[in-house]
Amino acid sequence: MNVAARDTTPLVPFDRDKLDALMDDAGVDVLLATSKHNVQFVLGGYRYIFFHAMDALGHSRYLPFAIYEKGRPDRAAYVGNKMEGHEQQVKPFWTPSTYLSAWGTVDGATLVAEHLKKIGLEKGRIGYEPGFLAADAYMALQKALPQASFIDANAVFERVREIKTPAEIELLRSASELITDSMLATFAASREGTTRGEVVETLRREETNRGLTFEYCLITQGASHNRAVSRQAWKKGEVMSIDSGGNYRGYIGDLCRMGVLGEPDAELNDLLSSIEAVQQAAFSKCAPGTLGGDMIAHAEAELKRSPHVKFTDFFAHGMGLISHEAPFLMTNHPVAYEGVDAARPLRAGHVLSVETTMLHPSRGFIKLEDTVVITETGHDLLGDRGRGWNRGGQ
């Protein structure tokens, strides 16, 4: 009796064909993911909680390596900290080889070099993340693999993460909804005399209690455009902006909502309405097939019609595991990268942050920031609540 051979190729948690094609285009044989976000992507959602907030350890730091060889998932590997053996026991990593004995950067790099020699890639073209590989680890790899070539693979990682899966979109939805809930609760809890620092601490608790990892809160009150935490207290009639980033299982939520202590007057309603008009202009072009630059231009045309254009700005960018990722739609505005995707069509699975910011000379900092998912038929707004003036507690 003939028995079919069992397929032992491991199931990978990403689009293997897409990644292989990107690696081929970049001239890369093997990828080394070392940033927390790309390690998480390659491992299918895993991020070691012990080093989530800080990675310093003794004389060195935590530096995980996820290793993927083009076309050979059976030779993938993960190099991590010795304490991660407990994680492996509970939920084994998909990578066929796992080395959990590193305590610092150099010993981790040494294990990587040994694995690459084992699979015959000591002379290979190694794609790495220049901004996320410690200098001593890089030098150790070069010394151990003198015939290998090292290639900047940032673009490979960016493009393989560009189109979000339905599961990723649900994580982003959860992050956005939970942040919106947290901001609305914070506005309601803030009263006359509440300081910026107290607002931020309230938001931190609200986000944490909802299962988010709090990352930051940029906050303004009154006529000030300064978004640092301070002892400034909220006063009757003043506006307050809360621009918060938190993450849910590694995926970013980043929105901005506005509050007012009391009832908004006619001028405040006009100012926020003009911002909303620009946001809606952008949303109207958020659909598959629309060039990213055309969406930007449509929003900017609406902004130019505003009487407040001289102190108002529009910006849109991709987001996901990090707050600025593909698609890159605008050049150096304000983050220093090129808008290489402006001439390319938006695609289902793109996730965008769309934001309009006003630095009003007398009423202060007024902003809306929204998260938009491009769908097969148009778009979907995540956390689409609290877009008007949210009243502070009395």
Q: Note if the bond before 327 is cis, omega within 30 degrees.
A: yes
The one-letter amino acid at 230:
S
Distance CA 195, CA 1 (A): 78
Distance CA 76, CA 116 (A): 10
**CB neighbours of residue 245 within 10 Å:** 22
Query: What pLDDT does residue 239 have?
Result: 98
The ranges of the chain annotated as CATH 3.90.230.10 are 166-391
Query: What pLDDT does residue 5 have?
Result: 36
Distance CA 24, CA 30 (A): 10
Query: What pLDDT does residue 19 have?
Result: 98
Distance CA 344, CA 50 (A): 40
Distance CA 21, CA 28 (A): 10
Q: For 79, list phi and psi in degrees, rounded to 5.
A: -115, 120
Distance CA 176, CA 198 (A): 22
Query: DSSP string of 349-385?
Result: T-EEEEEEEEEETTTEEEEEEEEEEE-SSSEEEES--
Distance CA 133, CA 371 (A): 30
Residue by residue, pLDDT tens for the chain (394 residues) are: 333 334 467 899 999 999 999 999 999 999 999 999 999 999 999 999 999 888 999 999 999 999 999 999 999 999 999 999 999 999 999 999 999 999 999 999 999 999 999 999 999 999 999 999 999 999 999 999 999 999 999 999 999 999 999 999 999 999 999 999 999 999 999 999 999 999 999 999 999 999 999 999 999 999 999 999 999 999 999 999 999 989 999 999 999 999 999 999 999 999 999 999 999 999 999 999 999 999 999 999 999 999 999 999 999 999 999 999 999 999 988 888 999 999 999 999 999 999 999 999 999 999 999 999 999 999 999 999 999 999 999 6
| pTM exceeds 0.85 | yes
The one-letter amino acid at 378:
G
Residues 321, 322, 323, 329: is their CA dihedral positive or negative?
A: negative
The one-letter amino acid at 306:
S
Query: What pLDDT does residue 8 have?
Result: 62
The ranges of the chain annotated as CATH 3.40.350.10 are 16-160
Picking from 23, 28, 244, 251, the residue whose alpha carbon sits closest to that of residue 121 is 28
Distance of CA 263 to CAs 159, 194, 232, 238, 241, Å? 46, 17, 21, 10, 15
Picking from 17, 8, 65, 21, the residue whose alpha carbon sits closest to that of residue 42 is 65
In CATH, which superfamily holds the domain spanning 16-160? Creatinase/prolidase N-terminal domain (3.40.350.10)
- Fold annotation for 166-391: Creatine Amidinohydrolase (3.90.230)
Distance CA 41, CA 167 (A): 12
**CB neighbours of residue 309 within 10 Å:** 16
Distance CA 53, CA 43 (A): 19
